[in-house]
Chain A
Amino acid sequence: MGNDQSPPSRNGASRSRRIGMWLFLVYVILYAGFMGLVLFRPDMLSWRPFGGVNLAIAYGMWLFLVYVILYAGFMGLVLFRPDMLSWRPFGGVNLAIAYGMGLIAAAFLLAFLYMIACRCDATDA
């Protein structure tokens, strides 16, 4: 009852540390992958993953990736750590609602950014 300021766990601090370590590990893997390419396969860095398409499509792909990561994070919580969704980060609404609303807002924000970014390509206002 009342406003719970910390994730529901027997030991909130160790849970935060565990999450932090996992995120750090993910980042290390991504970073190592990048450095591996730089050191051993720099030719691959010339690869144009979206086939050298126009800017509008390229912007779209990057923004799409951002959304997919956000969305996958949400689905990961729903599937594997639903208890964390009861956490009320600022004492108000819980993470389930904040993240859900956040995804809806992010969809619109990304869409708006996309529209602005593509304006230079637009043939018509």
Chain B
Amino acid sequence: MIYESSPVAIAIFASFVLGVVGLSFWLGRKGQSAKGYYAAHGEIHWFVNGIAFAGDYLSAASFLGICGMIAFYGYDGFLYSIGFLAGWIVALFVIAEPIKALGKFTFADALDARFNSRGIKLAVAISTLIVSIFYLIPQMVGAGHLIVPLLGLPHAVGVILVGVAVTLIVVTAGMVSTTWVQFIKGSLLVFFCAVLTVMILGRGLEVNAGRAGDEDLTAQVRTVTPEGKVLVNGQPQTAENDLRAVGTIHALPARYGDARETGPLRPLEYLSTLEDSKVVTWSAKKHTDEQGSHTTYSPTIREGKDLLKPGGYFKGLSSGSLTDRLNFASLMLALFCGTASLPHILIRYYTVKDAAAARKSTVVGIAAIGGFYVLTLYLGLGAMTSGYLDPTSSNMAAPLLAKSFSETLFAVISAIAFTTVLGTVSGLIMAGSGAVAHDLIENFCGVQMTDHEKVRAGKIAAVGLGLAAMALGILFRNFNVSFLVGWAFHIAASANLPALVMLLFWSRTTKQGITAAVTVGMLSSLGWILLSADTFEKVYGLSRAASPIPFSQPGLVTIPLGFVVLVVVSLLTPRPTPRQVSA
């Protein structure tokens, strides 16, 4: 669909970005120590850190991705919400308390705290960089995709805008500014999503919402000709001849009689009423001929109760296919184990004073993140029935839902979606900067640096990573990058979690065991993914059947493999010294 750029949206965008960059310069006006740059002096208050957890973790995948998935497919997006949140239980009960006692600035510090091993430093630094880059690419690509419809500017502009803003944030005040940007973003995100949810409940459900005339169930066709022209229903795409917005209620439950709207609904009533209603959903089918590539968007009237149960997106859950169920279980396991292993989440534990503060901040994080995920269900279903969905883009579901209420709210939500990217990307750049400057250069290579030089090395690394992030965001713009976030979880869970858990809870863990577990976990999960049917089809453009791998998500195999390798290698290598065990 064609979007008109909104001056209000541009103004709010600009103020948010200038605001957070200005704040960073102000916070960084005093000179910094390495502890200040990497760990915000360990002085961040637990409540601020808790909301910053939410601001760090809730990326575009959570906000735009889940909302869009629920809007188009129903319940299954909520399974992602549940999966993402469950990982925080691992973080709180397994990781938060002990990891604060280990380590100084980075995740490699924690794993290496007892051993002082170059092998561990190298393996973990590389794993941090790989996970951070896989997580970074979809954020940058997503930022570009947001800018295109909202500001009418090219994709690369969005990518460069995020890259420059984030690099400035990190370079000026490191973890201090990163924390406050994430705190601001987390607060705004949860607050405005709550506002939007209240408005959704206040509006209730309406038959054929957002449309001036009768319900239109004719299919729509979008064609891209070999010359690159875009046609809609056979005619050139213009503001007057464009795809129609979709996503409406077809019929309310019988108890509403002839009424076309329900009026305000209570939270549970909204869900049960939708379940008893009929909804018009739209799906796409592609085919190519000599006239070009045609995507046909066709409506289907579906029972609400079929949309509010698993199986809309994860088809194997309703079809019973073993491969699909293995993939699903593997993905959920990776989300469960991966959250607590993400480097940009773990480094946040070093910004608070002590273990008690680490615990409290995780609880606050869980409350904010859990509350947000409850809201995503309402946002997704509200978008599904708003009459404002763009059939070509599930990522625009949340901003367009806001548009169904007002242009100002649309501008605010779009700007917040953009800040969402800023918050997560700054955390990722911090994690990567620590891996390069602190783990690799200072610790692995043994380069002696003064405190001031350590900070400078971190800032140079951040600039390098920022430039790399921009280049990758532009390079990958046409790839389907949504699976990259899942990959990051698999690699983090396979490489990092076995080493972290066994180090914390098994005294026989040796440094060779940790190095082997991280290396094997990382390589096996990465190798599995690169050889999987999904990658063959979506990245290489080859046939799925050519893939040697039985199912696409590696977690079910590679996470246990990490544990097995650690145990076997630890038992085969000399027992750690008592000093190492008690450290």
Complex-state Cα separation, A91 to B284, whole angstroms: 34
How distant is B155 from chain A, measured CB to nearest CB, in Å? 35
Interface of B is mostly: helix
Q: Does B103 contact A (CB under 8 A)?
A: no
Cβ contact within 8 Å between B309 and A107 = no
0 or 1 for each of B340-378: is its CB under 8 Å from A? (1 = yes) = 000000000000011111011011001100100110010
Taking CB atoms, residues of chain A closer than 8 Å to B311 are 82
Complex Cα–Cα for A82 and B320 (A):
10
**Interface with A: B114-122, B270-278, B394-402, B424-432, which one?**
B270-278
Docked Cα-Cα span, A81 to B311, in Å, equals 12
Residues in B with CB closer than 8 Å to A124 are 353-354, 356-357
Which one of A14-22, A37-45, A72-80 is at the B interface?
A: A72-80
Tell me if B283 is interfacial: C-beta within 8 Å of chain A.
no
Is B507 part of the contact surface with A, judged by Cβ < 8 Å? yes
1/0 contact string of A1-43 vs chain B (CB within 8 Å): 1100000000000000000000000000000000000000000
B-contact bits for A48-89, CB 8 A (1 contact / 0 none): 001101001100110110011001001100110010011010
| Residues of B close to A114: CB separation below 8 A | 92-93, 359, 363
Contact of B271 among A68, A93, A115, A123 (CB under 8 A): A93
Say how far A39's CB is from chain B's closest CB, in angstroms.
29
Interface centre among B89, B90, B98, B272 (most CB of A within 10 A): B89
The answer to whether B90 touches A96, judged by C-beta atoms less than 8 angstroms apart, is no
Say yes or no: is B410 at the interface (Cβ < 8 Å to chain A).
Answer: no
> Which residues on the A side are within 8 Å of B72 (C-beta)?
none
| Chain A residues proximal to chain B, CB less than 8 Å | 1-2, 50-51, 53, 56-57, 60-61, 63-64, 67-68, 71, 74-75, 78-79, 82, 85-86, 88, 91-94, 96-97, 100-101, 103-105, 107-108, 110-112, 114-115, 118, 121-124
Chain B interface residues toward A at CB < 8 A: 75, 78-79, 81-82, 85-86, 88-90, 92-94, 97-98, 254, 268-269, 271-272, 275-276, 305, 308-311, 317-318, 325, 328-329, 332, 336, 353-357, 359-360, 362-363, 366-367, 370, 373-374, 377, 505, 507
Task: Write 23 A-B pairs (CB below 8 A) sorted by A numbering.
Answer: A1-B276, A2-B276, A50-B505, A56-B355, A61-B94, A64-B93, A71-B89, A79-B317, A79-B328, A82-B311, A93-B268, A96-B309, A97-B308, A100-B78, A107-B85, A107-B88, A111-B367, A114-B93, A121-B356, A123-B354, A123-B355, A124-B353, A124-B357
